[in-house]
Amino acid sequence: MPQAPTTLSDEIGIALGNLADAAAAPFTPTLRLGVTGLSRSGKTIFITALIHALLTGGRLPGFAPLTEGRFIGARLAEHPDAGIPRFAYEDHLAALTGKTPVWPESTRKISQLRLVLKFQSKRLFAGMLGPTSLNLDIVDYPGEWLLDLPLLSQSFAQWSASALGRASKPHSNHEAEGFLNALEGLDPETEASDVTAERLAKAFTEYLRLSREDGRALSTLPPGHFLLPGDMEGSPALTFAPLPPPKGPVRSGSLYAMLERRYEAYKALIVRPFFRDHFARLDRQIVLVDTLRALNAGPAAVADLETALTEILGCFRQGENNPLTWLVARRIDRILFAATKADHLHSSSHDRLEAVMNRLVAGAARRAKFAGAETRSIAMAAIRATREGVVDDRGKPHEVIVGTPMAGQMLDGVTYDGKTEIALFPGDLPERPDSLFEDSTPVSLNFLRFVPPQKLDRNAEGSVVLPHIRLDRALDFLLGDKLR
Ligand code: GDP
């Protein structure tokens, strides 16, 4: 992974931004927690569950500040950045806790929310003994945007060569066909035309979209803003596509020159500001990964996920290569990789899912020569939609999960109506995670989307309790040490 994500002026901008953050909050320290993951990996659900658990002191036995009696409480605070949408916590919670709970709308662009956490500090020597506060800024952004980092050090010609090489691979046939047809017979030296640029961009975006469908679940295709454009949707900076190289020198009025300019505009107007203004200001990061979906889609999707994680890890820039390290006060010091939706498996497989996640990240870390920040892997369900049971199969006990598949979900020729509860044997993960990377036979999982829990308990104060798996451990890793 090339190491040129930001320029010198960006570095100074980041440093000044960090100083400004510190000046704006002289008394209350702020922890900026980045929450990312590819589309539908579970960011919206995780953030909603996390905020709700902190606001209501939810069931969090693995969250040491709570069990040790140090955590006093949390409240929502005024949104700190006027230019970034607020995370729609209230709407998402309302969807999950309404009369008929439904999953809320997913993350489409960056959003943010601030919580103030109050706790009893034990840090006598730091002069902080007694009740004290921490601002927790949660920054939610699409993981697709991280995949854009390598583009910063690639020319249009280099990016085009790798994107076209990939689209022409046999395993991309199904999704890339339309785009390759659109390119067929097109001379890159032809006159520049908005109509042609739009047609190619549309076909290329469709190729990216098809790659992400269930059953394919491929994930490593930049430009990340094509599928999640944020506020720049439809602008020229998002209307380009890879082109084969022209035979002679590039003519400035040619289609090739036009798309090359747009590619450079995409980097300057979209990619670089995101890294400079948002990513570089994070202190901690959780990367959510729908590992089970990739396992279910087969070895190509698993290999692809591993590549995506390698690229994401490459974004966590290390100090040694950065001459202005001393200026950049903020540095991500903890990264949690969470395999989400662990409630799709029986708890007897949760440790195995964690091992798979570890294996996925270990490969990525090795290749990216990543060192420095503390990383951990966890299997988690931010909101648990199933319970566990045992069914008797001709005298043999079978561990199953019990839940209501969403309307339209299909398994073994049966289409579910969204109302019928079923007991499902989800399948086993292999004991040795390496086998997932060696074997060409996919693990056989029964993977269905379930409706969210329909009957929710209430705690002594009357607040709804959202069931989860290991959310408390995730919180403890991400925040626990900051609440001492
Ligand atoms: P985002 O695009 O990363 O924000 O993804 P979401 O948080 O919206 O999650 C996408 C979908 O995954 C949801 O609509 C749910 O169907 C499912 N999902 C997310 N988290 C969980 C979980 O903890 N358990 C279960 N069973 N499903 C989940």
Task: Based on the fold, state whether residues 266 and 158 are members of the same structural domain.
Answer: yes
Which position has the token pair 């400035």?
A: 252
> What's the 42 CA to ligand 1 centre distance in angstroms?
4
User: Is 412 contained in some domain?
Assistant: yes
What tokens were used for 97? 């806790």
Mean pLDDT, range 334-346, rounded to an integer? 93
Lowest mean pLDDT among 19-23, 32-36, 330-334, 408-412: 19-23
Name the residue at shortest CA distance from atom 1 of ligand 1.
Answer: 40
Q: Which of 36, 39, 43, 45 to mutate to test the pocket of ligand 1 (most atoms within 8 A of CB)?
A: 45
Average pLDDT, the chain: 85
According to the model, what pLDDT value does residue 333 have? 81
Amino acid identity, position 348 = S
CA atoms within 13 A on the CB side of 313: 25
Question: How far is 205 from 240, CA to CA, in rounded Å?
Answer: 10
**How does residue 16 score in pLDDT terms, banded at 50, 70 and 90?**
low
According to the model, what pLDDT value does residue 326 have? 36
Task: Based on the fold, state whether residues 163 and 302 are members of the same structural domain.
Answer: no
Of 236 and 372, the one with more pLDDT: 236
User: Is 37 contained in some domain?
Assistant: yes
- For residue 449 and ligand 1, the question of a CB distance below 6 A is answered with yes
Task: Based on the fold, state whether residues 349 and 282 are members of the same structural domain.
Answer: yes
Amino acid identity, position 282 = L
User: Is 1 contained in some domain?
Assistant: no
- For residue 353 and ligand 1, the question of a CB distance below 6 A is answered with no
pLDDT digits (tens, 9 = 90+) for 306-339: 877 777 776 665 544 543 343 344 577 888 999 9
Of the candidates 37, 13, 52, the residue with the CA atom closest to the CA atom of residue 458: 52
Task: Based on the fold, state whether residues 402 and 259 are members of the same structural domain.
Answer: no
Q: 86-122 b/e with 16+ CB inside 10 Å = b? A: ebbbeebbebbbeeebebbeebebbbbbbbbbebbbe
User: Is 224 contained in some domain?
Assistant: yes
DSSP state for residue 105 in the 8-state scheme: P
- Enclosing domain of residue 216: 150-271
Best-predicted range by mean pLDDT among 10-24, 27-41, 292-306?
27-41
- For residue 290 and ligand 1, the question of a CB distance below 6 A is answered with no
> What's the 40 CA to ligand 1 centre distance in angstroms?
6
**How does residue 107 score in pLDDT terms, banded at 50, 70 and 90?**
low
Domain-terminating residue out of 247, 271, 295: 271
* CATH code for position 365: 3.40.50.300
> What DSSP string describes 294-307?
HHHH-HHHHHHHHH
Task: Based on the fold, state whether residues 303 and 361 are members of the same structural domain.
Answer: yes
User: Is 417 contained in some domain?
Assistant: yes
Question: How far is 358 from 376, CA to CA, in rounded Å?
Answer: 8
Domain-terminating residue out of 204, 239, 271: 271
Lowest mean pLDDT among 29-33, 71-75, 127-131, 421-425: 127-131
Residue 416 has pLDDT above 50, yes or no: yes
Task: Based on the fold, state whether residues 14 and 39 are members of the same structural domain.
Answer: yes
- For residue 43 and ligand 1, the question of a CB distance below 6 A is answered with yes
Q: Which atom of ligand 1 is nearest to the CA of 344?
A: 26
Task: Based on the fold, state whether residues 411 and 332 are members of the same structural domain.
Answer: no
Task: Based on the fold, state whether residues 282 and 250 are members of the same structural domain.
Answer: no
Q: Which of 38, 40, 424, 468 to mutate to test the pocket of ligand 1 (most atoms within 8 A of CB)?
A: 40
Number of domains the chain contains? 3
Mean pLDDT, range 440-456, rounded to an integer? 84
pTM comes to 0.87
Residue 109 has pLDDT above 70, yes or no: yes
> What DSSP string describes 319-355?
GGG-TTTTT------EEEEEE--GGGS-GGGHHHHHH
According to the model, what pLDDT value does residue 466 have? 96
User: Is 463 contained in some domain?
Assistant: no
CA atoms within 13 A on the CB side of 127: 1
Task: Based on the fold, state whether residues 263 and 283 are members of the same structural domain.
Answer: no
Q: H helices within 25-126, ranges in order?
A: 43-56, 64-67, 89-97
Task: Based on the fold, state whether residues 84 and 209 are members of the same structural domain.
Answer: no
User: Is 461 contained in some domain?
Assistant: no
Residue 250 has pLDDT above 70, yes or no: yes
Residue 14 has pLDDT above 60, yes or no: no
Task: Based on the fold, state whether residues 255 and 321 are members of the same structural domain.
Answer: no
Alpha-carbon distance values, 99 to 322, 342, 420 (Å): 53, 25, 18
Question: How far is 443 from 109, CA to CA, in rounded Å?
Answer: 33
Mean pLDDT, range 68-72, rounded to an integer? 92
User: Is 462 contained in some domain?
Assistant: no
**For residue 324, which phi and psi values (nearest 5 degrees)?**
-105, 25
pLDDT digits (tens, 9 = 90+) for 156-171: 999 999 999 989 988 7
Q: Which atom of ligand 1 is nearest to the CA of 469?
A: 23
pLDDT above 90 as % of the chain: 50
According to the model, what pLDDT value does residue 301 have? 77
pLDDT digits (tens, 9 = 90+) for 369-395: 454 678 889 999 999 999 999 988 888
- For residue 38 and ligand 1, the question of a CB distance below 6 A is answered with no
Cβ atoms of 211 and 218 closer than 8 Å: yes
Task: Based on the fold, state whether residues 137 and 285 are members of the same structural domain.
Answer: yes
Torsion of the alpha carbons at 344, 350, 352 and 355, rounded to the nearest 10? 110
Q: Is 408 helix (H, G, I), strand (E, B) or coil?
A: coil
Domain-terminating residue out of 271, 297, 330: 271
According to the model, what pLDDT value does residue 275 have? 83
Q: Is 407 helix (H, G, I), strand (E, B) or coil?
A: coil
